[in-house]
């Protein structure tokens, strides 16, 4: 049974956005991680050349898209041995996160575990299915009623990366519980601090984690950030053929299929690594400018070793920080939007233009005490 859903949290930001827009130099919106850079030409061209899409698309994805996902996992994530039954395209990752508990048949009496600082849709998915959401990162404390476990590495909002040993411990506990475990890895190409500045961020499907057994293990990924394709709603899942088979059956009946031109665009994005490296350098330059400005302004940056955000606190309630930032024409994301554990944190996104990031850094440097 669908549980009552909370009001959309970002509606609370309207008065702060209004205040920030009154700044003489305009607002700098660092609140929501929506890409501002152009979608790569190779992707746009693939979309244009595939616009004659008169037939219904395949829910499972074209063979070419399935192979592109398989090849990408082997090349970029070190995940080998995937077959077409082990991959599934989705209409963005948010709908998959929100609907997965329902599609897996979870409901009353079932517990869905998610990180302490968490993307809110994990809990919304539990509410849609009528299950209970539990914020808990210690596998030993996951209750026997746990049926679905969400990991997020690199984390949103905190940028935390789970090491191979942490992933192995989570998988081991999931197996004890006979629970499905899903790792949301949408920021995996954006590693910043050592060792993730030189080593690939591990996937839950890494051979060192699963030891040849991917049963009940799923990873999800999105092209929104690495390829500036948020408007395309292009994502995919990989892992356990049994779990993905269940999702596929539901999606076929519900008509949840990715449009054919977008499938072609996904192939182009997955096959081209150059544009990903270019985009990562854009984000790196913005991060190098914004981080020291925040620290000079009195913020402490926690975690944030990877991903698209800086997770920061100045040791005061988050809403006070949001108000003080709005007076500078800056908009950030309040920590309470991501759970009850971090009431003094705010999230700064790197998804603003170079000019706006520079403006933010300048305002922070000259921030009055």
pLDDT tens string 72-128: 999 999 999 999 999 999 999 999 999 999 999 999 999 999 999 999 999 999 999
Residue 369 has pLDDT above 70, yes or no: no
Is the bond leading into 195 cis (omega within 30 degrees of zero)? yes
Range(s) for CATH 3.90.1150.10 in the chain? 9-38+275-365
CATH 3.40.640.10 in the chain is located at 41-272
DSSP 191: B
CB 57 within 8 Å of CB 81: no
Give Cβ neighbours of residue 206 (< 8 Å, ≥ 6 apart): 77, 78, 79, 164, 167
Predicted confidence (pLDDT) per residue in 313-326, tens digit: 999 999 999 999 99
Q: What is the pLDDT of residue 33?
A: 87
Q: What's the full length of the chain, in residues?
A: 369
With a CB cutoff of 8 Å and minimum separation 6, the contacts of 241 are 83, 85, 86, 214
CB of 204 within 8 A of CB of 151?
yes
pLDDT classification of 3: cutoffs 50, 70, 90: low
Second CATH level (architecture) for the domain 41-272: 3-Layer(aba) Sandwich (3.40)
Q: Right CATH number for 9-38+275-365 from 3.20.20.70, 3.90.1150.10, 2.40.30.10, 3.30.1230.10?
A: 3.90.1150.10
Mean pLDDT over 230-251 rounds to 97
Residues 6+ apart with CB under 8 A from 64: 267
DSSP-based three-state secondary structure for 235 = strand
pLDDT of res. 1: 64
Cα–Cα distances (Å) from 243 to 86, 116, 211, 315, in that order, read 9, 25, 18, 43
Strand stretches in 255-341, DSSP E? 300-302, 309-313, 330-331, 333-334
pLDDT digits (tens, 9 = 90+) for 333-360: 999 999 999 999 999 999 999 999 999 9
Average pLDDT on 139-166 reads 97
């Amino acid at each position: 049974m669908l549980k009552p859903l909370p009001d959309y949290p970002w509606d609370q930001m309207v008065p702060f956005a209004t205040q920030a827009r009154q700044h003489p130099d305009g607002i700098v919106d660092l609140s929501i991680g929506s890409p501002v850079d152009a979608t790569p030409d190779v992707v746009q061209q693939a979309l244009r050349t595939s616009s004659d899409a008169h037939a219904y698309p395949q829910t499972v994805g074209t063979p070419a898209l399935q192979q592109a996902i398989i090849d990408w996992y082997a090349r970029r994530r070190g995940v080998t041995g995937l077959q077409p039954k082990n991959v599934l395209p989705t209409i963005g990752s948010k709908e998959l996160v929100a609907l997965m508990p329902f599609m897996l048949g979870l409901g009353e009496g079932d517990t869905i575990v998610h990180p302490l600082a968490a993307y809110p849709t994990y809990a919304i998915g539990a509410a849609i299915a009528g299950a209970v959401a539990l914020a808990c990162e210690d596998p030993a404390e996951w209750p026997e009623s746990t049926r679905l476990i969400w990991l997020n590495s690199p984390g949103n909002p905190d940028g935390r990366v789970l090491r191979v040993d942490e992933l192995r411990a989570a998988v081991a506990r999931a197996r004890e519980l006979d629970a499905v475990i899903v790792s949301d890895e949408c920021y995996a190409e954006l590693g910043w601090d050592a060792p993730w500045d030189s080593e690939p961020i591990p996937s839950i499907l890494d051979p060192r984690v699963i030891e040849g057994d991917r049963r009940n293990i799923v990873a999800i990924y999105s092209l929104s950030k690495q390829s500036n394709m948020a408007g395309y709603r292009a994502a995919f899942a990989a892992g356990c053929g049994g779990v993905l088979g269940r999702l596929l059956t539901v999606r076929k009946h519900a008509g949840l299929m990715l449009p054919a031109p977008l499938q072609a665009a996904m192939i182009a994005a997955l096959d081209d690594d150059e544009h990903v490296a270019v985009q990562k350098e854009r984000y790196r330059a913005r991060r190098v400018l914004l981080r020291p400005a925040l620290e000079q302004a009195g913020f402490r940056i926690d975690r944030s070793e990877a991903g698209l955000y800086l997770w920061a606190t100045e040791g005061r309630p988050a809403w006070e920080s949001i108000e003080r930032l709005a007076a500078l024409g800056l908009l950030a994301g309040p920590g309470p939007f991501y759970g009850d554990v971090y009431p003094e944190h705010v999230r700064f996104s790197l998804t603003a233009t170079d000019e706006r990031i520079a403006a933010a850094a300048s305002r922070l440097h000259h921030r009055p005490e």
